[in-house]
Structure 1
């Protein structure tokens, strides 16, 4: 079933998915630590009974139990050589269970390994991993694909790209959101839905992590920025684990089913259950909502469900969505990350130094840019490699959507493929071969693009020719399945000094585009070329263009006269939100004597000690792994003591990173980047600190491990890194570690703390086994626990000495237990 067929299938009815697989298999006897897929093949009747029950309950789509059937996951169990056999047999088993009246979805999820630059998994390798499993699933007879329980938007993108390149099957995608409405990697519902719809998902939504009562805002947000079906597959409330390690969920069927009404009212038209739900829950949903038509759904106040507004445009980064229409607030596309005419930036890029790129990105966001243009085209570098490097770096320090600016189709494709959001392409024209090479990229990767009205003969000779070029190129885009909302027309600004009608020509183009439903953009600098006091001309032209309906302009947001005039223009035109935006910008002038106190790079012999420490602190806060070693060495060369760098820069910075993470200002990638940057600095300081170390003050030993049966180690690795950075002697035993090995390591190394991690409810009971075994072996190390499913109540129940919510909290907990505060 392809995407169009899937949408026809969903059009006039609520679609019912199945319920939980894992929690029901555990009830049926599946032990912790085994490969679920392999266990199912050795206990086929258990799976057949469960899936037959879901089909009988009325599910329209049942997931094949191939959830962890990718090569990387199977490698953890030594089963990667059986990937084709395992996936094929599981699909066949599901088809046998449900018959030919229920669709079978091939199920994919995360691999457990992190993508570069946070981890060591290459993006293309991940795409290949998904391709391999998708091809097996399709060949086995799956009707659709589902990518579920995703915490990383970029990994969702990898799976979607893989599917598009090897299959025509419709792909549903659901992410798992934390209580703050973001995934563990920081993506919100808006950014996720915008990106995934543009990339070609047949349906998007949320599953797992929470009950229906906590999922409503996520579903509502996704529905409001998309036109595709929205999926809601919540848990049966929240899990609780008893003293024996048995997991139950607090929402019974008679509570769960009515609660789904709020998700339908928020826009969900594909519903089912996740952890804790059973065939009884699905039968209840079918009985309650089988006659509901999505087109007739109303919210609690009786209003139609807000869906994507016709005429609105959407871009996104990995963590933030941007929506705008033709009469909305004027936007600036920050132009500074472009080496043209910038000798210092060119020199830094040739050296592989991204200091200036990062400073430009931060500064332009602070100055009011809505989008950042990324152009690294110059001689002396590999443009493709540099573009990907800059995209990774800039994406880690700003939430603004990016505009990919290159004339190379190869570079553009690699950039769009890698960028973890919905980008703006700059640009596509009718010049020889350009439309044929670039339009397919816009379609494949779901990008918005700048339409440059140039013909094979070059610049249009008249206004009429320019309009003809716009119509011809937009027609080519429509033929490829793109829409007018995917297009932003460049007004093509010429030089008024050479052509007195240049401004009028561009203004008329902007008016034409606005009246005919096109977004518009222009570069400003050409208009004043060769004239004195160019900013006056640029500013006057911009305000005139805004009055004609200009959507955005490529400009330097640090040019205060220009930006102030633009914001004032919106204010005078009474655009919604323009008054607040203007007032907030004018706050910068409240203190006439204010100056820029941001950290600047200066020569070593002119920097005070406090400045060096501030620079290093900033490196940790921004995760500046490329520069922190150099800055640390400069500080040492200037005479600053290693202990001062540790105590007055690194430690306060990592504490602040932890606080930002706690408050939701930072997310997992930033937390890891800050810790990794600090690690690089400490590596330089360690030999110096070792010479002066008072052995009586060495911090205690911590043995850390993911418990037996659990192969997840992202959180555990981060905790280990943070503890090492704070000076603890950390012995990391890895993942899936037996209790005997943990206690042996603790006793042999005189550990003061044993830190245990578990991600799954099926494996967290092993924590109790470790606690009990430690007591039986007279091990006096204090035991602390943590992980996504672990709670303080569970820690109390099993007799653990403490519970931590995250890496930063673990450091505080260990210090508190050992009286080191």
Structure 2
């Protein structure tokens, strides 16, 4: 990792000013970079014989790059993006120059910084937005390992920070796992630098209405917002006409500010190449409408847009105050494809457990034999039978849990339309699953069995969950063991909620409390009231914390009975728990 400078007072002042501008008015970004560079007809020598690698120009022809930034600032924009869209491992590796990631990123940010400072001399602050493009590999499809891409994005971000960027944008993302790799890489770079630069994400949606791999807008928001990004929105792929419904969804559900940087319409292929038909006035019309209707904080342009496009956008939106939004977040988990709310309208949320090696002999034997297609078919069976999420547990004595989780989570990532509950006692196994899933997972589970200190399992698992934006199942177990009375269950639940929200920044609605139950079928007097205690704890917990979710391994109540009796007891117990508030 490169040695990064401590943020200067000037940098902090710029960042504070950027945040203030975004909170009070519409901030305008620039437009297309690649076509502007190509219009200046750089030579093959300028590209160091790496034709098409625009980032090389940051070193060989900084004058060309500088002139593009100057044209956009002269048009009135507030910030320009660095010429670093392809400064990541996978894109640079196509040219066999991946080792120049930091160098090219730093040079691109430094050029933009110099121009921004020149234009800021008139007393109006201009900013630099560090561009982090998607690269050329889709980790969900196995094109490249997640960790390799994440570390490459970290180098990209380190260079942008060192060069003087005021914010970072992970843009034109096509694969949610790819997006996560970039966000987590950027976050690691920011932490290493002691920097609090804003970190934004911009998604690319196809004319099909989904991202390239089929992710819906709800899935994208559910997966990415918990990563702690500061703004989310759309860019590239389409013109503004195709973005309206996605922006409508975001304005209704996103807690964080919104951005939009469309192409100049859908490209039309001509003899001379791709032509973008939307003129400057059309882009200005669209962005004005988006600001007024959806409360956008940042607007700009992407492919096909020019300084004239942005000049007209500036004129149209510079005096607008974005209307206040009143979003209604919908807590839940998501697969790669679609989001599943924790609160179901007409029933409880059902977590299918037939893909748990400790609970299903059939699944365990298929896993032990390496019959992966059979494992996937068991997951699909549960989808057809109405499960809302799938519990994936590969823990088995003598097995390589990390390898099994990588294999199965990687397959479930594309084969299952349902979110995954990662169920393991081993931290490396949980991490392996998270690094295969582009959607938002739930981790099962945390508790206080060994306390809550920095080396406790609770702290380690929670840290991992927060880093990857996962929700958490939390069990009412403390240093004394599993709680058996209403009072003890609720007390531990209160401790869990206070800890997760106050110390770890987890929303109450992303905590799934399991008040637990023992079997009441031991014949022992001390266990007769366990089921009633569980029901009472659910009722009291929901009274105190209506936003918290409650979950339960229901069939534990009837363990030891014959199958027919279990069905009856489970049914009655479920009905009572749901009436008490079980989600």
Flag whether TM exceeds 0.5 (same fold).
Answer: yes
* Structure 2 match to 1:289: 317
Tell me if structure 1 keeps the 8 A contact 2:484–2:533.
no
The yes-or-no answer on 1:215 pairing with 2:243 is: yes
Is the 1:203–1:231 Cα contact (8 Å) retained in structure 2?
yes
The answer for the alignment partner of 1:519 in structure 2 is 549
Corresponding residue for 1:262? 289
| Structure-2 separation of matches of 1:248 and 1:291 | 31
Aligned partners of 2:101 and 2:152 also within 8 Å: no
Corresponding residue of 1:549: 581
Q: Is the Cα contact below 8 Å between 1:194 and 1:226 reproduced in 2?
A: no
2:431 aligned partner: 413
- Which residue of 1 is the match for residue 559 of structure 2? 529
- Per-residue deviation, 1:513: 2.2
Give the direction of change, closer, same or farther, for the CA distance of 1:57–1:332 in structure 2 (3 Å limit).
Answer: same
User: Using the alignment, how far apart are the partners of 2:60 and 2:274 within structure 1?
Assistant: 24
What are the Cα deviations for residues 752-782 of structure 1, in whole angstroms up to 9, with x where unaligned? xxxxxxxxxxxxxxxxxxxxxxxxxxxxxxx
Conserved 8 A contact 1:182-1:189:
yes
Cα distance between partner residues in 2 of 1:49 and 1:465: 67
- The 8 Å contact of residues 179 and 214 in structure 1, kept in 2 or not, is answered as yes
Q: Is the 8 A contact 2:264 2:305 kept in 1?
A: yes
Residue in structure 1 matched with residue 224 of structure 2 by the alignment? 196
SS of corresponding position for 2:114: helix
Matched, 1:472 2:500: no
Structure having greater relative contact order (Cα 8 Å, sep ≥ 6) = 2
Distance of 1:75 and 1:446 partners within structure 2: 29
Q: Aligned Cα RMSD in Å?
A: 2.3
Match of 1:787 in 2: none
Please state whether the residue corresponding to 1:331 is helix, strand or coil.
coil
Q: Displacement, 1:8?
A: 4.8
Which of 134, 156, 170 is equivalent to 1:110?
Answer: 134
Q: Please state if 1:384 is matched with 2:402.
A: yes
User: Deviations for 1:264-311, whole angstroms, at most 9, x for unmatched residues?
Assistant: 223432110111111222222222222323344xxxxxxxx56233xx
Q: 1:324 to 1:71 in 2, by over 3 A?
A: closer
Q: Is there any run of 5+ residues in structure 2 with no aligned partner, and where?
A: 1-10, 45-50, 451-455
Instruction: Give deviations 1:406-444, integer Å, cap 9, x for gaps.
Output: 112222233223321111111111110232222212221
SS at match of 1:372: strand
Q: Structure 1's 378 and 449: CA in aligned 2 closer, same or farther, altered over 3 A?
A: same
Number of equivalences: 539
Which residue is equivalent to 1:586? none
CA distance in 2, matches of 1:258, 1:25: 27
Give the Cα–Cα distance (whole angstroms) in 1 for the partners of residues 20 and 393 of structure 2: 41
Deviations 1:775-816 (A, max 9, x none): xxxxxxxxxxxxxxxxxxxxxxxxxxxxxxxxxxxxxxxxxx
Structure 2 residue 21 is the aligned partner of structure 1 residue 21: no
* Deviation digits for residues 32-62 of structure 1 (CA, Å, limit 9, x no counterpart): 9432122454443333232123223332221
Contact 1:215 1:263 (C-alpha < 8 Å) held by counterparts: no
CA shift digits 1:185-243 (9 cap, x unpaired): 11121111221111222211111111111111122223333211111100111223432
1:327 Cα deviation (Å)? Answer: 6.8
Distance 1:85 1:340 in 2: 50
Equivalent in the alignment of 1:557 = none
- The residue correspondences of 1:366-765 to structure 2 (distance < 5 A) are 366-432=384-450, 433-478=456-501, 479-498=503-522, 499-515=527-543, 516-517=545-546, 518-532=548-562, 533-551=565-583
Structure 1, 77-86 or 216-225: larger mean CA deviation: 77-86
User: 1:450/1:290 Cα in 2 relative to 1: closer, same or farther (>3 Å)?
Assistant: same
User: How far, CA to CA, are the matches of 2:79 and 2:93 in structure 1?
Assistant: 29
Residue 187 of structure 2 is matched in structure 1 by 164
Query: Larger Rg: 1 or 2?
Result: 1
Q: Conserved in 2, the CA contact under 8 Å of 1:219 and 1:267?
A: no
- Residue 550 of structure 1, CA deviation: 1.1
Relative to structure 1, the CA distance from residue 180 to residue 81 in structure 2 (aligned partners, 3 Å threshold; closer, same or farther) is: closer
Preserved contact between residue 220 and residue 267 of structure 1 (Cα < 8 Å): no
The CA distance in 1 between the partners of 2:102 and 2:358, in whole Å, is 51
**What residue ranges of structure 1 are gaps of 5+ in the alignment?**
297-304, 552-821
